[in-house]
Amino acid sequence: MEIKLHSNATTTPRTRKYIQESAKTDGELAEELNISVDTVRRWRKRADCYDKSHRPNTIHRALSHEQESMLIFLRVRLALSLDELLEAARLLIQQGISRASVSRMLQNWQLSRMAKPTLSQTPGHFTLDTFSLPETISHKQGELLVFSERTSGYMAVALRERGSEEVAEPLVGFLREGLPLAVLSLTAKSCSFTHKLAGELGVPLQAVEQEAWLEKAGQGNYHQALEALLNGERFDKRLGLGAVLLEFEDLLNKRIIRSRLKNLTPEAWLKLHHSHR
């Protein structure tokens, strides 16, 4: 059997056993073995001859600012409860994260309490968030579009090619036909792209200023490889960005059950109550 000693160990299991069985005084043993009297006394009190593990009983996995920002985004845009956010965190962002860590994060961002959307409102009013993608994450795609519908908690994502200024027809077609609900309005930062997109969809655009939590989230360092930002149970670094996003979208819409939706997933709730397809 292989015995691993701590790097600063001054005795071996064989020496420790000798100490425990010896009739000599502490001082005599210390002089004989060229160790301190305290070491002799410590091992005489022990019932075994092996080092105790220095590994903590509970390993707490810390969240980076960038990971916190992604979770705060899900919390605000999808109205996730603490337990729902914890499940999303473990699946998507940081496996093994504790409930206490997520709760503490919400306190630090002053988002422990949040008003839940009423289910009486007709779903279909989407918020659009656009995020620039550094080349460390994608060489070809320059912008991530996230469409979130807060009533149902449904989310859809799309990518825009780097340097593109036009509204691509596939994006418009996807928003018209590829969702389980109709887009009734867009809430987004006012810019040429969002005005064009709302016009193509034939829906009103509600222009908003950047929220304080989004400004704080933007202070992170996102010029990192994707595997440096994501460490969830379902993250596969072999996949490209598009495939990773589709996996995340699928988990959020079809796996994580929402208590406020009567214990249904967003997609199941929409099909049951508001399907228009």
Q: What is the pLDDT of residue 164?
A: 77
Q: What is the pLDDT of residue 51?
A: 56
Task: State the Cα–Cα distance between residues 3 and 7, nearest whole angstrom.
Answer: 12
The pLDDT tens digits of the residues spanning 145-200 come to: 999 999 999 999 999 988 777 888 899 999 999 999 999 999 999 999 999 999 99
A 10 A CB-CB count for 212 gives 10
Q: What is the pLDDT of residue 52?
A: 56
The DSSP bridge partners found for residue 188 are 207
11 contacts 35 by C-beta, under 8 angstroms? yes
Rounded mean pLDDT of 1-21?
64
Q: What is the pLDDT of residue 180?
A: 94
The pLDDT tens digits of the residues spanning 194-247 come to: 999 999 999 999 999 889 999 999 998 999 999 999 999 999 988 899 999 999
- Per the prediction, the chain carries an average pLDDT of 88
Residue 141 CB contacts under 8 Å (≥ 6 apart), including other chains: 133, 159, 160, 161, 162, 241, 242
pLDDT of residue 252 exceeding 50, the answer is yes
Rounded mean pLDDT of 111-134?
93
Task: State the Cα–Cα distance between residues 263 and 177, nearest whole angstrom.
Answer: 26
Q: Closest Cα to residue 203, out of 225, 223, 181, 184?
A: 184
Grade residue 30 by pLDDT with cuts at 50, 70 and 90.
Answer: confident
Task: State the Cα–Cα distance between residues 148 and 187, nearest whole angstrom.
Answer: 10
What is the value of pTM for the model shown? 0.76
Grade residue 77 by pLDDT with cuts at 50, 70 and 90.
Answer: very high
For residue 137, which amino acid is it? I
Q: What is the pLDDT of residue 73?
A: 97
Question: Among all chains, which residue has been given the structure tokens 């059997």?
Answer: 1
At CA 101, angle to CA 81 and CA 88, rounded to 5?
45
Q: Closest Cα to residue 163, out of 187, 185, 134, 141?
A: 141
- Range with the largest mean pLDDT of 22-26, 46-50, 147-151: 147-151
**DSSP character string of 89-130:** IIIIIBTT--HHHHHHHHHHTT-SS-PPPPTTSPS-EEEEEE
Collapse the DSSP code of 199 into the 3-class scheme (helix H, G, I; strand E, B; otherwise coil) and give the result.
Answer: helix
